[in-house]
Amino acid sequence: MPVGKDALLIALAAAGLISLTNQVLQLLLRWRRGNPLFVLQPWDDGSCRAIADGLEGLIGDTPLVRIRSLSEQTGCEILAKAEMLNIGGSVKDRVALEVVREAMAEGCLKPGGLITEGTAGSTGVSLAVVAAGRGCRCRISMPDDAAAEKAELLRALGADVRRVRPVSITHPEHFVNVARREALAEPGSALFANQFENLANFRAHLRTGCEIWRQTRGRLHAFVSGAGTGGTIAGVSSYLKSQDPRIKVGDVRATVLIVVMLVDPPGSSLFNKVKRGVLYAREEAEGKRLRNPFDTITEGIGINRITANFSLAKVDDAFKGSDREAVEMAAYLLHNDGLFVGSSAAMNCVGAVKAARALGKGHTIVTVLCDGGQRHLSKFHNPEYLAQQGLVPQHTGRDLSFVE
Ligand SMILES: Cc1ncc(COP(=O)(O)O)c(C=O)c1O
Protein backbone atom coordinates (compact mmCIF):
# COMPACT_ATOMS: atom_id res chain seq x y z
CA MET A 1 0.00 0.00 0.00
CA PRO A 2 1.40 3.43 -0.90
CA VAL A 3 1.60 5.70 2.11
CA GLY A 4 2.48 9.39 2.87
CA LYS A 5 3.60 11.35 -0.19
CA ASP A 6 2.44 8.74 -2.74
CA ALA A 7 -1.07 8.61 -1.28
CA LEU A 8 -1.27 12.42 -1.47
CA LEU A 9 -0.18 12.42 -5.13
CA ILE A 10 -2.76 9.77 -6.03
CA ALA A 11 -5.51 11.75 -4.22
CA LEU A 12 -4.55 14.96 -6.08
CA ALA A 13 -4.50 13.18 -9.44
CA ALA A 14 -7.94 11.66 -8.74
CA ALA A 15 -9.35 15.08 -7.75
CA GLY A 16 -7.93 16.59 -10.94
CA LEU A 17 -9.48 13.84 -13.06
CA ILE A 18 -12.90 14.31 -11.41
CA SER A 19 -12.77 18.06 -11.98
CA LEU A 20 -11.79 17.61 -15.66
CA THR A 21 -14.57 15.06 -16.25
CA ASN A 22 -17.03 17.47 -14.63
CA GLN A 23 -15.98 20.30 -16.96
CA VAL A 24 -16.18 18.07 -20.06
CA LEU A 25 -19.67 16.89 -19.01
CA GLN A 26 -20.87 20.49 -18.50
CA LEU A 27 -19.54 21.46 -21.95
CA LEU A 28 -21.24 18.46 -23.58
CA LEU A 29 -24.54 19.28 -21.87
CA ARG A 30 -24.44 22.94 -22.98
CA TRP A 31 -23.51 21.85 -26.52
CA ARG A 32 -26.45 19.36 -26.65
CA ARG A 33 -28.85 22.14 -25.49
CA GLY A 34 -27.42 24.43 -28.16
CA ASN A 35 -25.94 26.87 -25.58
CA PRO A 36 -22.49 28.26 -26.41
CA LEU A 37 -19.88 28.27 -23.63
CA PHE A 38 -20.50 31.96 -22.94
CA VAL A 39 -22.47 34.89 -24.37
CA LEU A 40 -21.58 38.51 -23.79
CA GLN A 41 -24.15 40.05 -21.45
CA PRO A 42 -25.52 43.63 -21.32
CA TRP A 43 -22.71 44.46 -18.87
CA ASP A 44 -20.30 44.43 -21.80
CA ASP A 45 -21.54 47.84 -23.00
CA GLY A 46 -18.38 49.83 -22.18
CA SER A 47 -19.97 51.54 -19.18
CA CYS A 48 -17.45 50.30 -16.59
CA ARG A 49 -16.04 52.87 -14.20
CA ALA A 50 -12.57 54.25 -14.91
CA ILE A 51 -9.50 53.17 -12.89
CA ALA A 52 -9.77 54.62 -9.38
CA ASP A 53 -6.71 56.64 -8.37
CA GLY A 54 -5.74 55.19 -5.00
CA LEU A 55 -7.86 55.24 -1.87
CA GLU A 56 -9.44 58.60 -2.62
CA GLY A 57 -10.61 57.35 -6.00
CA LEU A 58 -12.81 54.97 -4.03
CA ILE A 59 -14.78 57.80 -2.42
CA GLY A 60 -17.78 59.29 -4.21
CA ASP A 61 -19.15 58.43 -7.65
CA THR A 62 -21.44 55.89 -5.98
CA PRO A 63 -24.12 54.06 -7.97
CA LEU A 64 -27.69 55.32 -7.99
CA VAL A 65 -29.78 52.23 -7.35
CA ARG A 66 -33.43 51.87 -8.33
CA ILE A 67 -35.20 50.28 -5.39
CA ARG A 68 -37.46 47.86 -7.18
CA SER A 69 -39.96 47.09 -4.41
CA LEU A 70 -40.56 50.72 -3.44
CA SER A 71 -40.79 51.83 -7.07
CA GLU A 72 -43.29 49.10 -7.89
CA GLN A 73 -45.44 49.77 -4.80
CA THR A 74 -45.53 53.56 -5.07
CA GLY A 75 -45.73 53.95 -8.86
CA CYS A 76 -42.78 56.36 -8.63
CA GLU A 77 -39.14 55.75 -9.50
CA ILE A 78 -37.44 55.52 -6.10
CA LEU A 79 -33.68 55.90 -6.55
CA ALA A 80 -31.00 55.92 -3.86
CA LYS A 81 -27.30 56.79 -3.74
CA ALA A 82 -25.57 53.63 -2.49
CA GLU A 83 -23.20 55.42 -0.11
CA MET A 84 -22.30 52.24 1.76
CA LEU A 85 -20.12 51.48 -1.27
CA ASN A 86 -17.63 54.21 -0.39
CA ILE A 87 -14.36 52.65 0.79
CA GLY A 88 -14.97 53.59 4.45
CA GLY A 89 -18.54 52.27 4.26
CA SER A 90 -20.61 55.45 4.55
CA VAL A 91 -21.61 58.82 3.14
CA LYS A 92 -19.20 60.40 5.65
CA ASP A 93 -16.19 59.40 3.54
CA ARG A 94 -17.02 62.30 1.25
CA VAL A 95 -17.00 64.73 4.18
CA ALA A 96 -13.79 63.39 5.70
CA LEU A 97 -12.03 63.63 2.34
CA GLU A 98 -13.15 67.21 1.68
CA VAL A 99 -12.34 68.40 5.21
CA VAL A 100 -8.83 66.96 5.01
CA ARG A 101 -8.26 67.97 1.38
CA GLU A 102 -9.19 71.60 2.04
CA ALA A 103 -7.12 71.79 5.25
CA MET A 104 -4.07 70.41 3.42
CA ALA A 105 -4.58 72.69 0.43
CA GLU A 106 -4.71 75.67 2.80
CA GLY A 107 -1.58 74.48 4.63
CA CYS A 108 -3.42 73.97 7.96
CA LEU A 109 -2.58 70.25 7.97
CA LYS A 110 0.47 68.38 6.71
CA PRO A 111 1.41 64.68 6.50
CA GLY A 112 2.22 63.60 10.05
CA GLY A 113 -0.25 66.14 11.43
CA LEU A 114 -3.15 65.30 13.73
CA ILE A 115 -6.86 65.21 12.83
CA THR A 116 -9.27 65.28 15.78
CA GLU A 117 -13.04 64.88 15.91
CA GLY A 118 -15.65 64.21 18.54
CA THR A 119 -18.03 61.61 17.16
CA ALA A 120 -19.67 58.32 18.01
CA GLY A 121 -20.68 57.82 14.40
CA SER A 122 -19.39 57.03 10.97
CA THR A 123 -17.42 60.26 10.59
CA GLY A 124 -14.72 58.89 12.89
CA VAL A 125 -14.25 55.82 10.70
CA SER A 126 -14.14 57.94 7.55
CA LEU A 127 -11.58 60.32 9.08
CA ALA A 128 -9.44 57.39 10.21
CA VAL A 129 -9.49 55.95 6.67
CA VAL A 130 -8.64 59.27 4.98
CA ALA A 131 -5.98 60.08 7.61
CA ALA A 132 -4.27 56.75 6.93
CA GLY A 133 -4.29 57.50 3.20
CA ARG A 134 -2.75 60.96 3.74
CA GLY A 135 -0.18 59.89 6.33
CA CYS A 136 -1.83 61.83 9.15
CA ARG A 137 -2.60 60.82 12.71
CA CYS A 138 -6.24 60.60 13.79
CA ARG A 139 -7.72 60.97 17.28
CA ILE A 140 -11.40 60.38 17.90
CA SER A 141 -13.18 61.27 21.15
CA MET A 142 -16.44 59.48 21.84
CA PRO A 143 -18.81 58.96 24.77
CA ASP A 144 -17.97 55.79 26.69
CA ASP A 145 -21.52 54.46 26.27
CA ALA A 146 -21.09 54.26 22.48
CA ALA A 147 -20.97 50.71 21.09
CA ALA A 148 -17.61 49.08 21.86
CA GLU A 149 -17.23 47.71 18.32
CA LYS A 150 -17.00 51.30 17.04
CA ALA A 151 -13.94 51.97 19.20
CA GLU A 152 -12.44 48.64 18.13
CA LEU A 153 -12.89 49.43 14.44
CA LEU A 154 -11.31 52.87 14.88
CA ARG A 155 -8.31 51.38 16.69
CA ALA A 156 -7.93 48.75 13.98
CA LEU A 157 -7.79 51.59 11.45
CA GLY A 158 -4.93 53.14 13.40
CA ALA A 159 -6.85 55.90 15.18
CA ASP A 160 -6.25 56.90 18.77
CA VAL A 161 -9.57 56.60 20.64
CA ARG A 162 -10.49 58.64 23.73
CA ARG A 163 -13.63 57.44 25.50
CA VAL A 164 -15.10 60.07 27.79
CA ARG A 165 -18.08 60.35 30.14
CA PRO A 166 -21.30 61.31 28.31
CA VAL A 167 -22.02 64.90 29.46
CA SER A 168 -23.85 67.91 28.09
CA ILE A 169 -22.36 69.79 25.12
CA THR A 170 -21.94 72.82 27.43
CA HIS A 171 -19.55 70.79 29.64
CA PRO A 172 -15.79 71.12 28.85
CA GLU A 173 -15.46 67.32 28.96
CA HIS A 174 -18.08 66.71 26.27
CA PHE A 175 -16.43 64.59 23.55
CA VAL A 176 -16.70 67.37 20.96
CA ASN A 177 -15.06 69.89 23.31
CA VAL A 178 -12.31 67.38 24.12
CA ALA A 179 -11.56 66.96 20.40
CA ARG A 180 -11.48 70.73 19.84
CA ARG A 181 -9.12 71.22 22.81
CA GLU A 182 -6.77 68.48 21.63
CA ALA A 183 -6.39 70.12 18.23
CA LEU A 184 -5.70 73.48 19.88
CA ALA A 185 -2.95 71.83 21.93
CA GLU A 186 -0.92 71.21 18.74
CA PRO A 187 -1.15 74.60 17.03
CA GLY A 188 -0.11 74.65 13.38
CA SER A 189 -0.11 70.89 12.92
CA ALA A 190 -3.55 69.74 14.05
CA LEU A 191 -7.01 70.01 12.55
CA PHE A 192 -10.32 69.84 14.43
CA ALA A 193 -12.60 68.42 11.71
CA ASN A 194 -15.73 69.98 13.26
CA GLN A 195 -18.21 68.33 10.88
CA PHE A 196 -21.26 70.23 12.21
CA GLU A 197 -19.89 73.72 11.58
CA ASN A 198 -17.18 73.16 8.97
CA LEU A 199 -18.64 74.10 5.57
CA ALA A 200 -16.28 71.71 3.80
CA ASN A 201 -19.04 69.22 4.72
CA PHE A 202 -21.58 71.20 2.66
CA ARG A 203 -19.06 71.57 -0.19
CA ALA A 204 -18.41 67.80 -0.23
CA HIS A 205 -22.10 67.26 -0.93
CA LEU A 206 -22.26 69.69 -3.82
CA ARG A 207 -20.51 66.82 -5.60
CA THR A 208 -23.15 64.34 -4.35
CA GLY A 209 -25.78 66.66 -5.84
CA CYS A 210 -23.85 66.89 -9.11
CA GLU A 211 -23.63 63.09 -9.34
CA ILE A 212 -27.40 62.79 -8.77
CA TRP A 213 -28.05 65.42 -11.44
CA ARG A 214 -25.86 63.61 -13.97
CA GLN A 215 -27.01 60.10 -13.10
CA THR A 216 -30.68 61.08 -13.55
CA ARG A 217 -29.82 63.37 -16.50
CA GLY A 218 -31.67 66.08 -14.61
CA ARG A 219 -34.87 64.05 -14.64
CA LEU A 220 -35.93 64.03 -11.02
CA HIS A 221 -38.76 65.63 -9.11
CA ALA A 222 -37.71 65.34 -5.48
CA PHE A 223 -34.80 64.74 -3.16
CA VAL A 224 -35.52 63.40 0.34
CA SER A 225 -33.11 63.06 3.26
CA GLY A 226 -32.76 63.20 7.00
CA ALA A 227 -30.26 65.61 8.55
CA GLY A 228 -27.64 65.22 11.27
CA THR A 229 -25.02 67.85 10.57
CA GLY A 230 -27.19 68.92 7.62
CA GLY A 231 -24.26 68.67 5.19
CA THR A 232 -25.94 66.17 2.84
CA ILE A 233 -29.27 67.96 2.47
CA ALA A 234 -27.57 71.38 2.24
CA GLY A 235 -25.03 70.41 -0.44
CA VAL A 236 -27.39 68.29 -2.53
CA SER A 237 -30.29 70.77 -2.38
CA SER A 238 -28.02 73.70 -3.26
CA TYR A 239 -26.56 71.90 -6.26
CA LEU A 240 -29.86 70.57 -7.59
CA LYS A 241 -31.64 73.89 -7.24
CA SER A 242 -28.76 75.72 -8.91
CA GLN A 243 -28.94 73.39 -11.92
CA ASP A 244 -32.66 73.13 -12.46
CA PRO A 245 -33.35 75.34 -15.49
CA ARG A 246 -37.00 75.35 -14.54
CA ILE A 247 -36.23 77.37 -11.40
CA LYS A 248 -35.67 80.59 -13.28
CA VAL A 249 -37.71 81.99 -16.13
CA GLY A 250 -35.63 84.90 -17.36
CA ASP A 251 -34.71 86.62 -14.11
CA VAL A 252 -38.00 85.83 -12.45
CA ARG A 253 -38.22 82.97 -10.01
CA ALA A 254 -40.88 80.48 -11.02
CA THR A 255 -42.22 77.47 -9.14
CA VAL A 256 -39.36 75.33 -7.94
CA LEU A 257 -39.94 71.95 -9.52
CA ILE A 258 -37.29 69.85 -7.78
CA VAL A 259 -38.76 69.60 -4.32
CA VAL A 260 -36.41 69.00 -1.40
CA MET A 261 -37.97 67.21 1.54
CA LEU A 262 -36.63 66.48 5.00
CA VAL A 263 -37.52 63.33 6.92
CA ASP A 264 -37.04 63.87 10.64
CA PRO A 265 -36.83 61.21 13.40
CA PRO A 266 -38.49 61.41 16.83
CA GLY A 267 -36.95 63.97 19.19
CA SER A 268 -35.51 66.17 16.44
CA SER A 269 -36.63 69.79 16.06
CA LEU A 270 -35.99 70.26 12.35
CA PHE A 271 -39.47 69.19 11.18
CA ASN A 272 -41.06 72.09 13.06
CA LYS A 273 -38.34 74.44 11.84
CA VAL A 274 -39.20 73.60 8.22
CA LYS A 275 -42.98 73.49 8.64
CA ARG A 276 -43.52 76.30 11.14
CA GLY A 277 -40.26 78.19 11.42
CA VAL A 278 -39.82 77.17 15.07
CA LEU A 279 -37.01 74.91 16.24
CA TYR A 280 -38.99 72.65 18.56
CA ALA A 281 -39.46 68.93 19.21
CA ARG A 282 -42.61 67.61 20.86
CA GLU A 283 -40.42 65.39 23.06
CA GLU A 284 -38.85 68.53 24.55
CA ALA A 285 -42.08 69.38 26.38
CA GLU A 286 -41.42 69.18 30.10
CA GLY A 287 -41.63 65.68 31.56
CA LYS A 288 -41.64 64.01 28.17
CA ARG A 289 -37.92 63.84 27.51
CA LEU A 290 -36.67 60.26 27.38
CA ARG A 291 -33.24 58.96 28.26
CA ASN A 292 -31.84 58.84 24.74
CA PRO A 293 -30.51 62.25 23.59
CA PHE A 294 -32.73 62.25 20.50
CA ASP A 295 -35.41 59.77 21.61
CA THR A 296 -34.83 57.63 18.55
CA ILE A 297 -33.23 54.38 17.56
CA THR A 298 -31.91 55.93 14.35
CA GLU A 299 -28.29 57.07 14.39
CA GLY A 300 -26.69 60.06 12.70
CA ILE A 301 -29.91 61.99 12.05
CA GLY A 302 -31.96 64.36 14.19
CA ILE A 303 -30.75 67.49 15.92
CA ASN A 304 -32.04 70.32 18.10
CA ARG A 305 -29.99 73.21 16.81
CA ILE A 306 -29.33 74.85 13.47
CA THR A 307 -25.80 74.05 12.38
CA ALA A 308 -23.82 76.15 9.92
CA ASN A 309 -24.24 73.34 7.39
CA PHE A 310 -28.00 72.96 7.81
CA SER A 311 -28.46 76.71 7.51
CA LEU A 312 -27.46 76.38 3.82
CA ALA A 313 -30.12 73.75 3.06
CA LYS A 314 -32.95 74.67 0.70
CA VAL A 315 -35.78 72.61 2.10
CA ASP A 316 -39.36 72.90 0.83
CA ASP A 317 -41.23 70.41 2.97
CA ALA A 318 -40.79 67.94 5.81
CA PHE A 319 -42.18 64.66 7.15
CA LYS A 320 -41.86 63.02 10.53
CA GLY A 321 -40.65 59.40 10.51
CA SER A 322 -41.07 57.02 13.47
CA ASP A 323 -38.67 54.41 14.80
CA ARG A 324 -41.25 51.71 13.99
CA GLU A 325 -41.40 52.85 10.37
CA ALA A 326 -37.58 52.82 10.12
CA VAL A 327 -37.25 49.34 11.62
CA GLU A 328 -40.03 47.95 9.41
CA MET A 329 -38.48 49.59 6.35
CA ALA A 330 -35.06 48.03 7.04
CA ALA A 331 -36.64 44.56 7.33
CA TYR A 332 -38.76 45.24 4.22
CA LEU A 333 -35.75 46.24 2.10
CA LEU A 334 -33.80 43.18 3.21
CA HIS A 335 -36.63 40.75 2.49
CA ASN A 336 -37.87 42.29 -0.75
CA ASP A 337 -34.69 43.69 -2.32
CA GLY A 338 -31.82 42.05 -0.45
CA LEU A 339 -30.64 45.52 0.59
CA PHE A 340 -29.15 45.56 4.12
CA VAL A 341 -29.17 49.17 5.26
CA GLY A 342 -28.48 51.23 8.37
CA SER A 343 -31.03 53.18 10.39
CA SER A 344 -30.72 56.57 8.69
CA ALA A 345 -30.88 54.91 5.25
CA ALA A 346 -34.07 53.12 6.31
CA MET A 347 -35.54 56.41 7.54
CA ASN A 348 -34.63 58.06 4.24
CA CYS A 349 -36.57 55.34 2.40
CA VAL A 350 -39.56 55.96 4.68
CA GLY A 351 -39.27 59.61 3.62
CA ALA A 352 -39.10 58.61 -0.06
CA VAL A 353 -42.36 56.64 0.24
CA LYS A 354 -44.06 59.58 2.00
CA ALA A 355 -42.79 61.88 -0.75
CA ALA A 356 -44.13 59.51 -3.42
CA ARG A 357 -47.56 59.55 -1.79
CA ALA A 358 -47.52 63.33 -1.47
CA LEU A 359 -46.46 63.89 -5.10
CA GLY A 360 -48.48 61.11 -6.73
CA LYS A 361 -47.56 58.40 -9.22
CA GLY A 362 -45.08 58.95 -12.05
CA HIS A 363 -42.49 61.02 -10.16
CA THR A 364 -38.78 60.32 -9.73
CA ILE A 365 -37.60 60.61 -6.13
CA VAL A 366 -33.97 60.37 -5.02
CA THR A 367 -32.70 59.59 -1.54
CA VAL A 368 -29.51 58.34 0.14
CA LEU A 369 -28.50 54.97 1.59
CA CYS A 370 -26.08 56.51 4.10
CA ASP A 371 -24.51 53.26 5.29
CA GLY A 372 -25.03 49.51 5.42
CA GLY A 373 -26.60 47.46 8.19
CA GLN A 374 -23.20 46.02 9.23
CA ARG A 375 -22.52 49.12 11.35
CA HIS A 376 -25.75 48.58 13.31
CA LEU A 377 -25.50 45.02 14.59
CA SER A 378 -25.64 45.92 18.27
CA LYS A 379 -28.83 48.02 18.15
CA PHE A 380 -30.88 48.63 15.02
CA HIS A 381 -30.27 45.12 13.65
CA ASN A 382 -30.13 43.33 16.99
CA PRO A 383 -33.32 41.30 17.61
CA GLU A 384 -32.87 41.36 21.43
CA TYR A 385 -32.36 45.12 21.52
CA LEU A 386 -35.39 45.62 19.26
CA ALA A 387 -37.46 43.36 21.54
CA GLN A 388 -36.44 45.44 24.60
CA GLN A 389 -37.59 48.57 22.76
CA GLY A 390 -40.85 46.94 21.60
CA LEU A 391 -39.71 47.43 18.01
CA VAL A 392 -39.50 43.91 16.57
CA PRO A 393 -40.51 44.23 12.88
CA GLN A 394 -43.93 42.71 12.28
CA HIS A 395 -44.89 43.58 8.75
CA THR A 396 -44.82 40.83 6.15
CA GLY A 397 -45.52 41.04 2.45
CA ARG A 398 -44.81 43.56 -0.25
CA ASP A 399 -47.31 46.32 0.53
CA LEU A 400 -46.16 49.48 2.32
CA SER A 401 -48.98 49.75 4.85
CA PHE A 402 -46.44 50.18 7.69
CA VAL A 403 -45.58 53.67 6.37
CA GLU A 404 -48.12 56.04 7.91
C1 LIG B 1 -24.99 57.07 9.24
C2 LIG B 1 -25.37 58.50 9.04
N3 LIG B 1 -26.44 58.79 8.33
C4 LIG B 1 -26.82 60.07 8.12
C5 LIG B 1 -26.14 61.12 8.65
C6 LIG B 1 -26.65 62.51 8.40
O7 LIG B 1 -26.02 63.16 7.38
P8 LIG B 1 -25.64 64.69 7.51
O9 LIG B 1 -24.69 64.82 8.66
O10 LIG B 1 -25.03 65.02 6.22
O11 LIG B 1 -26.92 65.44 7.77
C12 LIG B 1 -25.01 60.86 9.41
C13 LIG B 1 -24.26 61.96 10.01
O14 LIG B 1 -23.46 61.79 10.90
C15 LIG B 1 -24.61 59.51 9.61
O16 LIG B 1 -23.51 59.21 10.34
Q: Which amino acid is at 178?
A: V
Ligand 1 binding pocket includes 89 (Cβ within 6 Å): no
Ligand 1 binding pocket includes 124 (Cβ within 6 Å): no
92 belongs to the catalytic site: yes
Strand partners, 90: 371
Give this prediction's pTM: 0.90
pLDDT at 38: 80
Q: Cα–chain-centroid distance for residue 125? A: 12
Strands 77-82 and 364-369: parallel
Distance 121 CA to ligand 1 centre (A): 8
Distance 226 CA to ligand 1 centre (A): 8
Taking Cα atoms as reference points, which of 228, 204, 207 lies closest to residue 344? 228
Taking Cα atoms as reference points, which of 327, 265, 254 lies closest to residue 296? 265
Question: How far is 194 from 141, CA to CA, in rounded Å?
Answer: 12
Question: How far is 129 from 131, CA to CA, in rounded Å?
Answer: 5
Q: Which amino acid is at 159?
A: A
Query: Vertex 23, ends 17 and 28: CA angle to 5°?
Result: 125
Pocket perturbation via mutation, ligand 1, pick of 92, 142, 262, 303 by most ligand atoms within 8 A of CB: 92
Asked if pLDDT for residue 41 goes beyond 60, the answer is: yes
Q: Where are the alpha helices (DSSP H) in 87-230?
A: 92-105, 122-134, 148-156, 175-184, 200-215
Query: Vertex 258, ends 253 and 260: CA angle to 5°?
Result: 110
In this structure, of 40-49, 102-111, 198-207, the range with the lowest mean pLDDT score is: 40-49
Strands 252-253 and 190-192: unpaired
Taking Cα atoms as reference points, which of 40, 103, 64, 156 lies closest to residue 366? 64
Distance 229 CA to ligand 1 centre (A): 7
User: Which has more pLDDT, 385 or 45?
Assistant: 385
Pocket perturbation via mutation, ligand 1, pick of 84, 299, 306, 375 by most ligand atoms within 8 A of CB: 299
Nearest CA to ligand 1 atom 14: 300
pLDDT tens digits, 155-168: 999 999 999 998 88
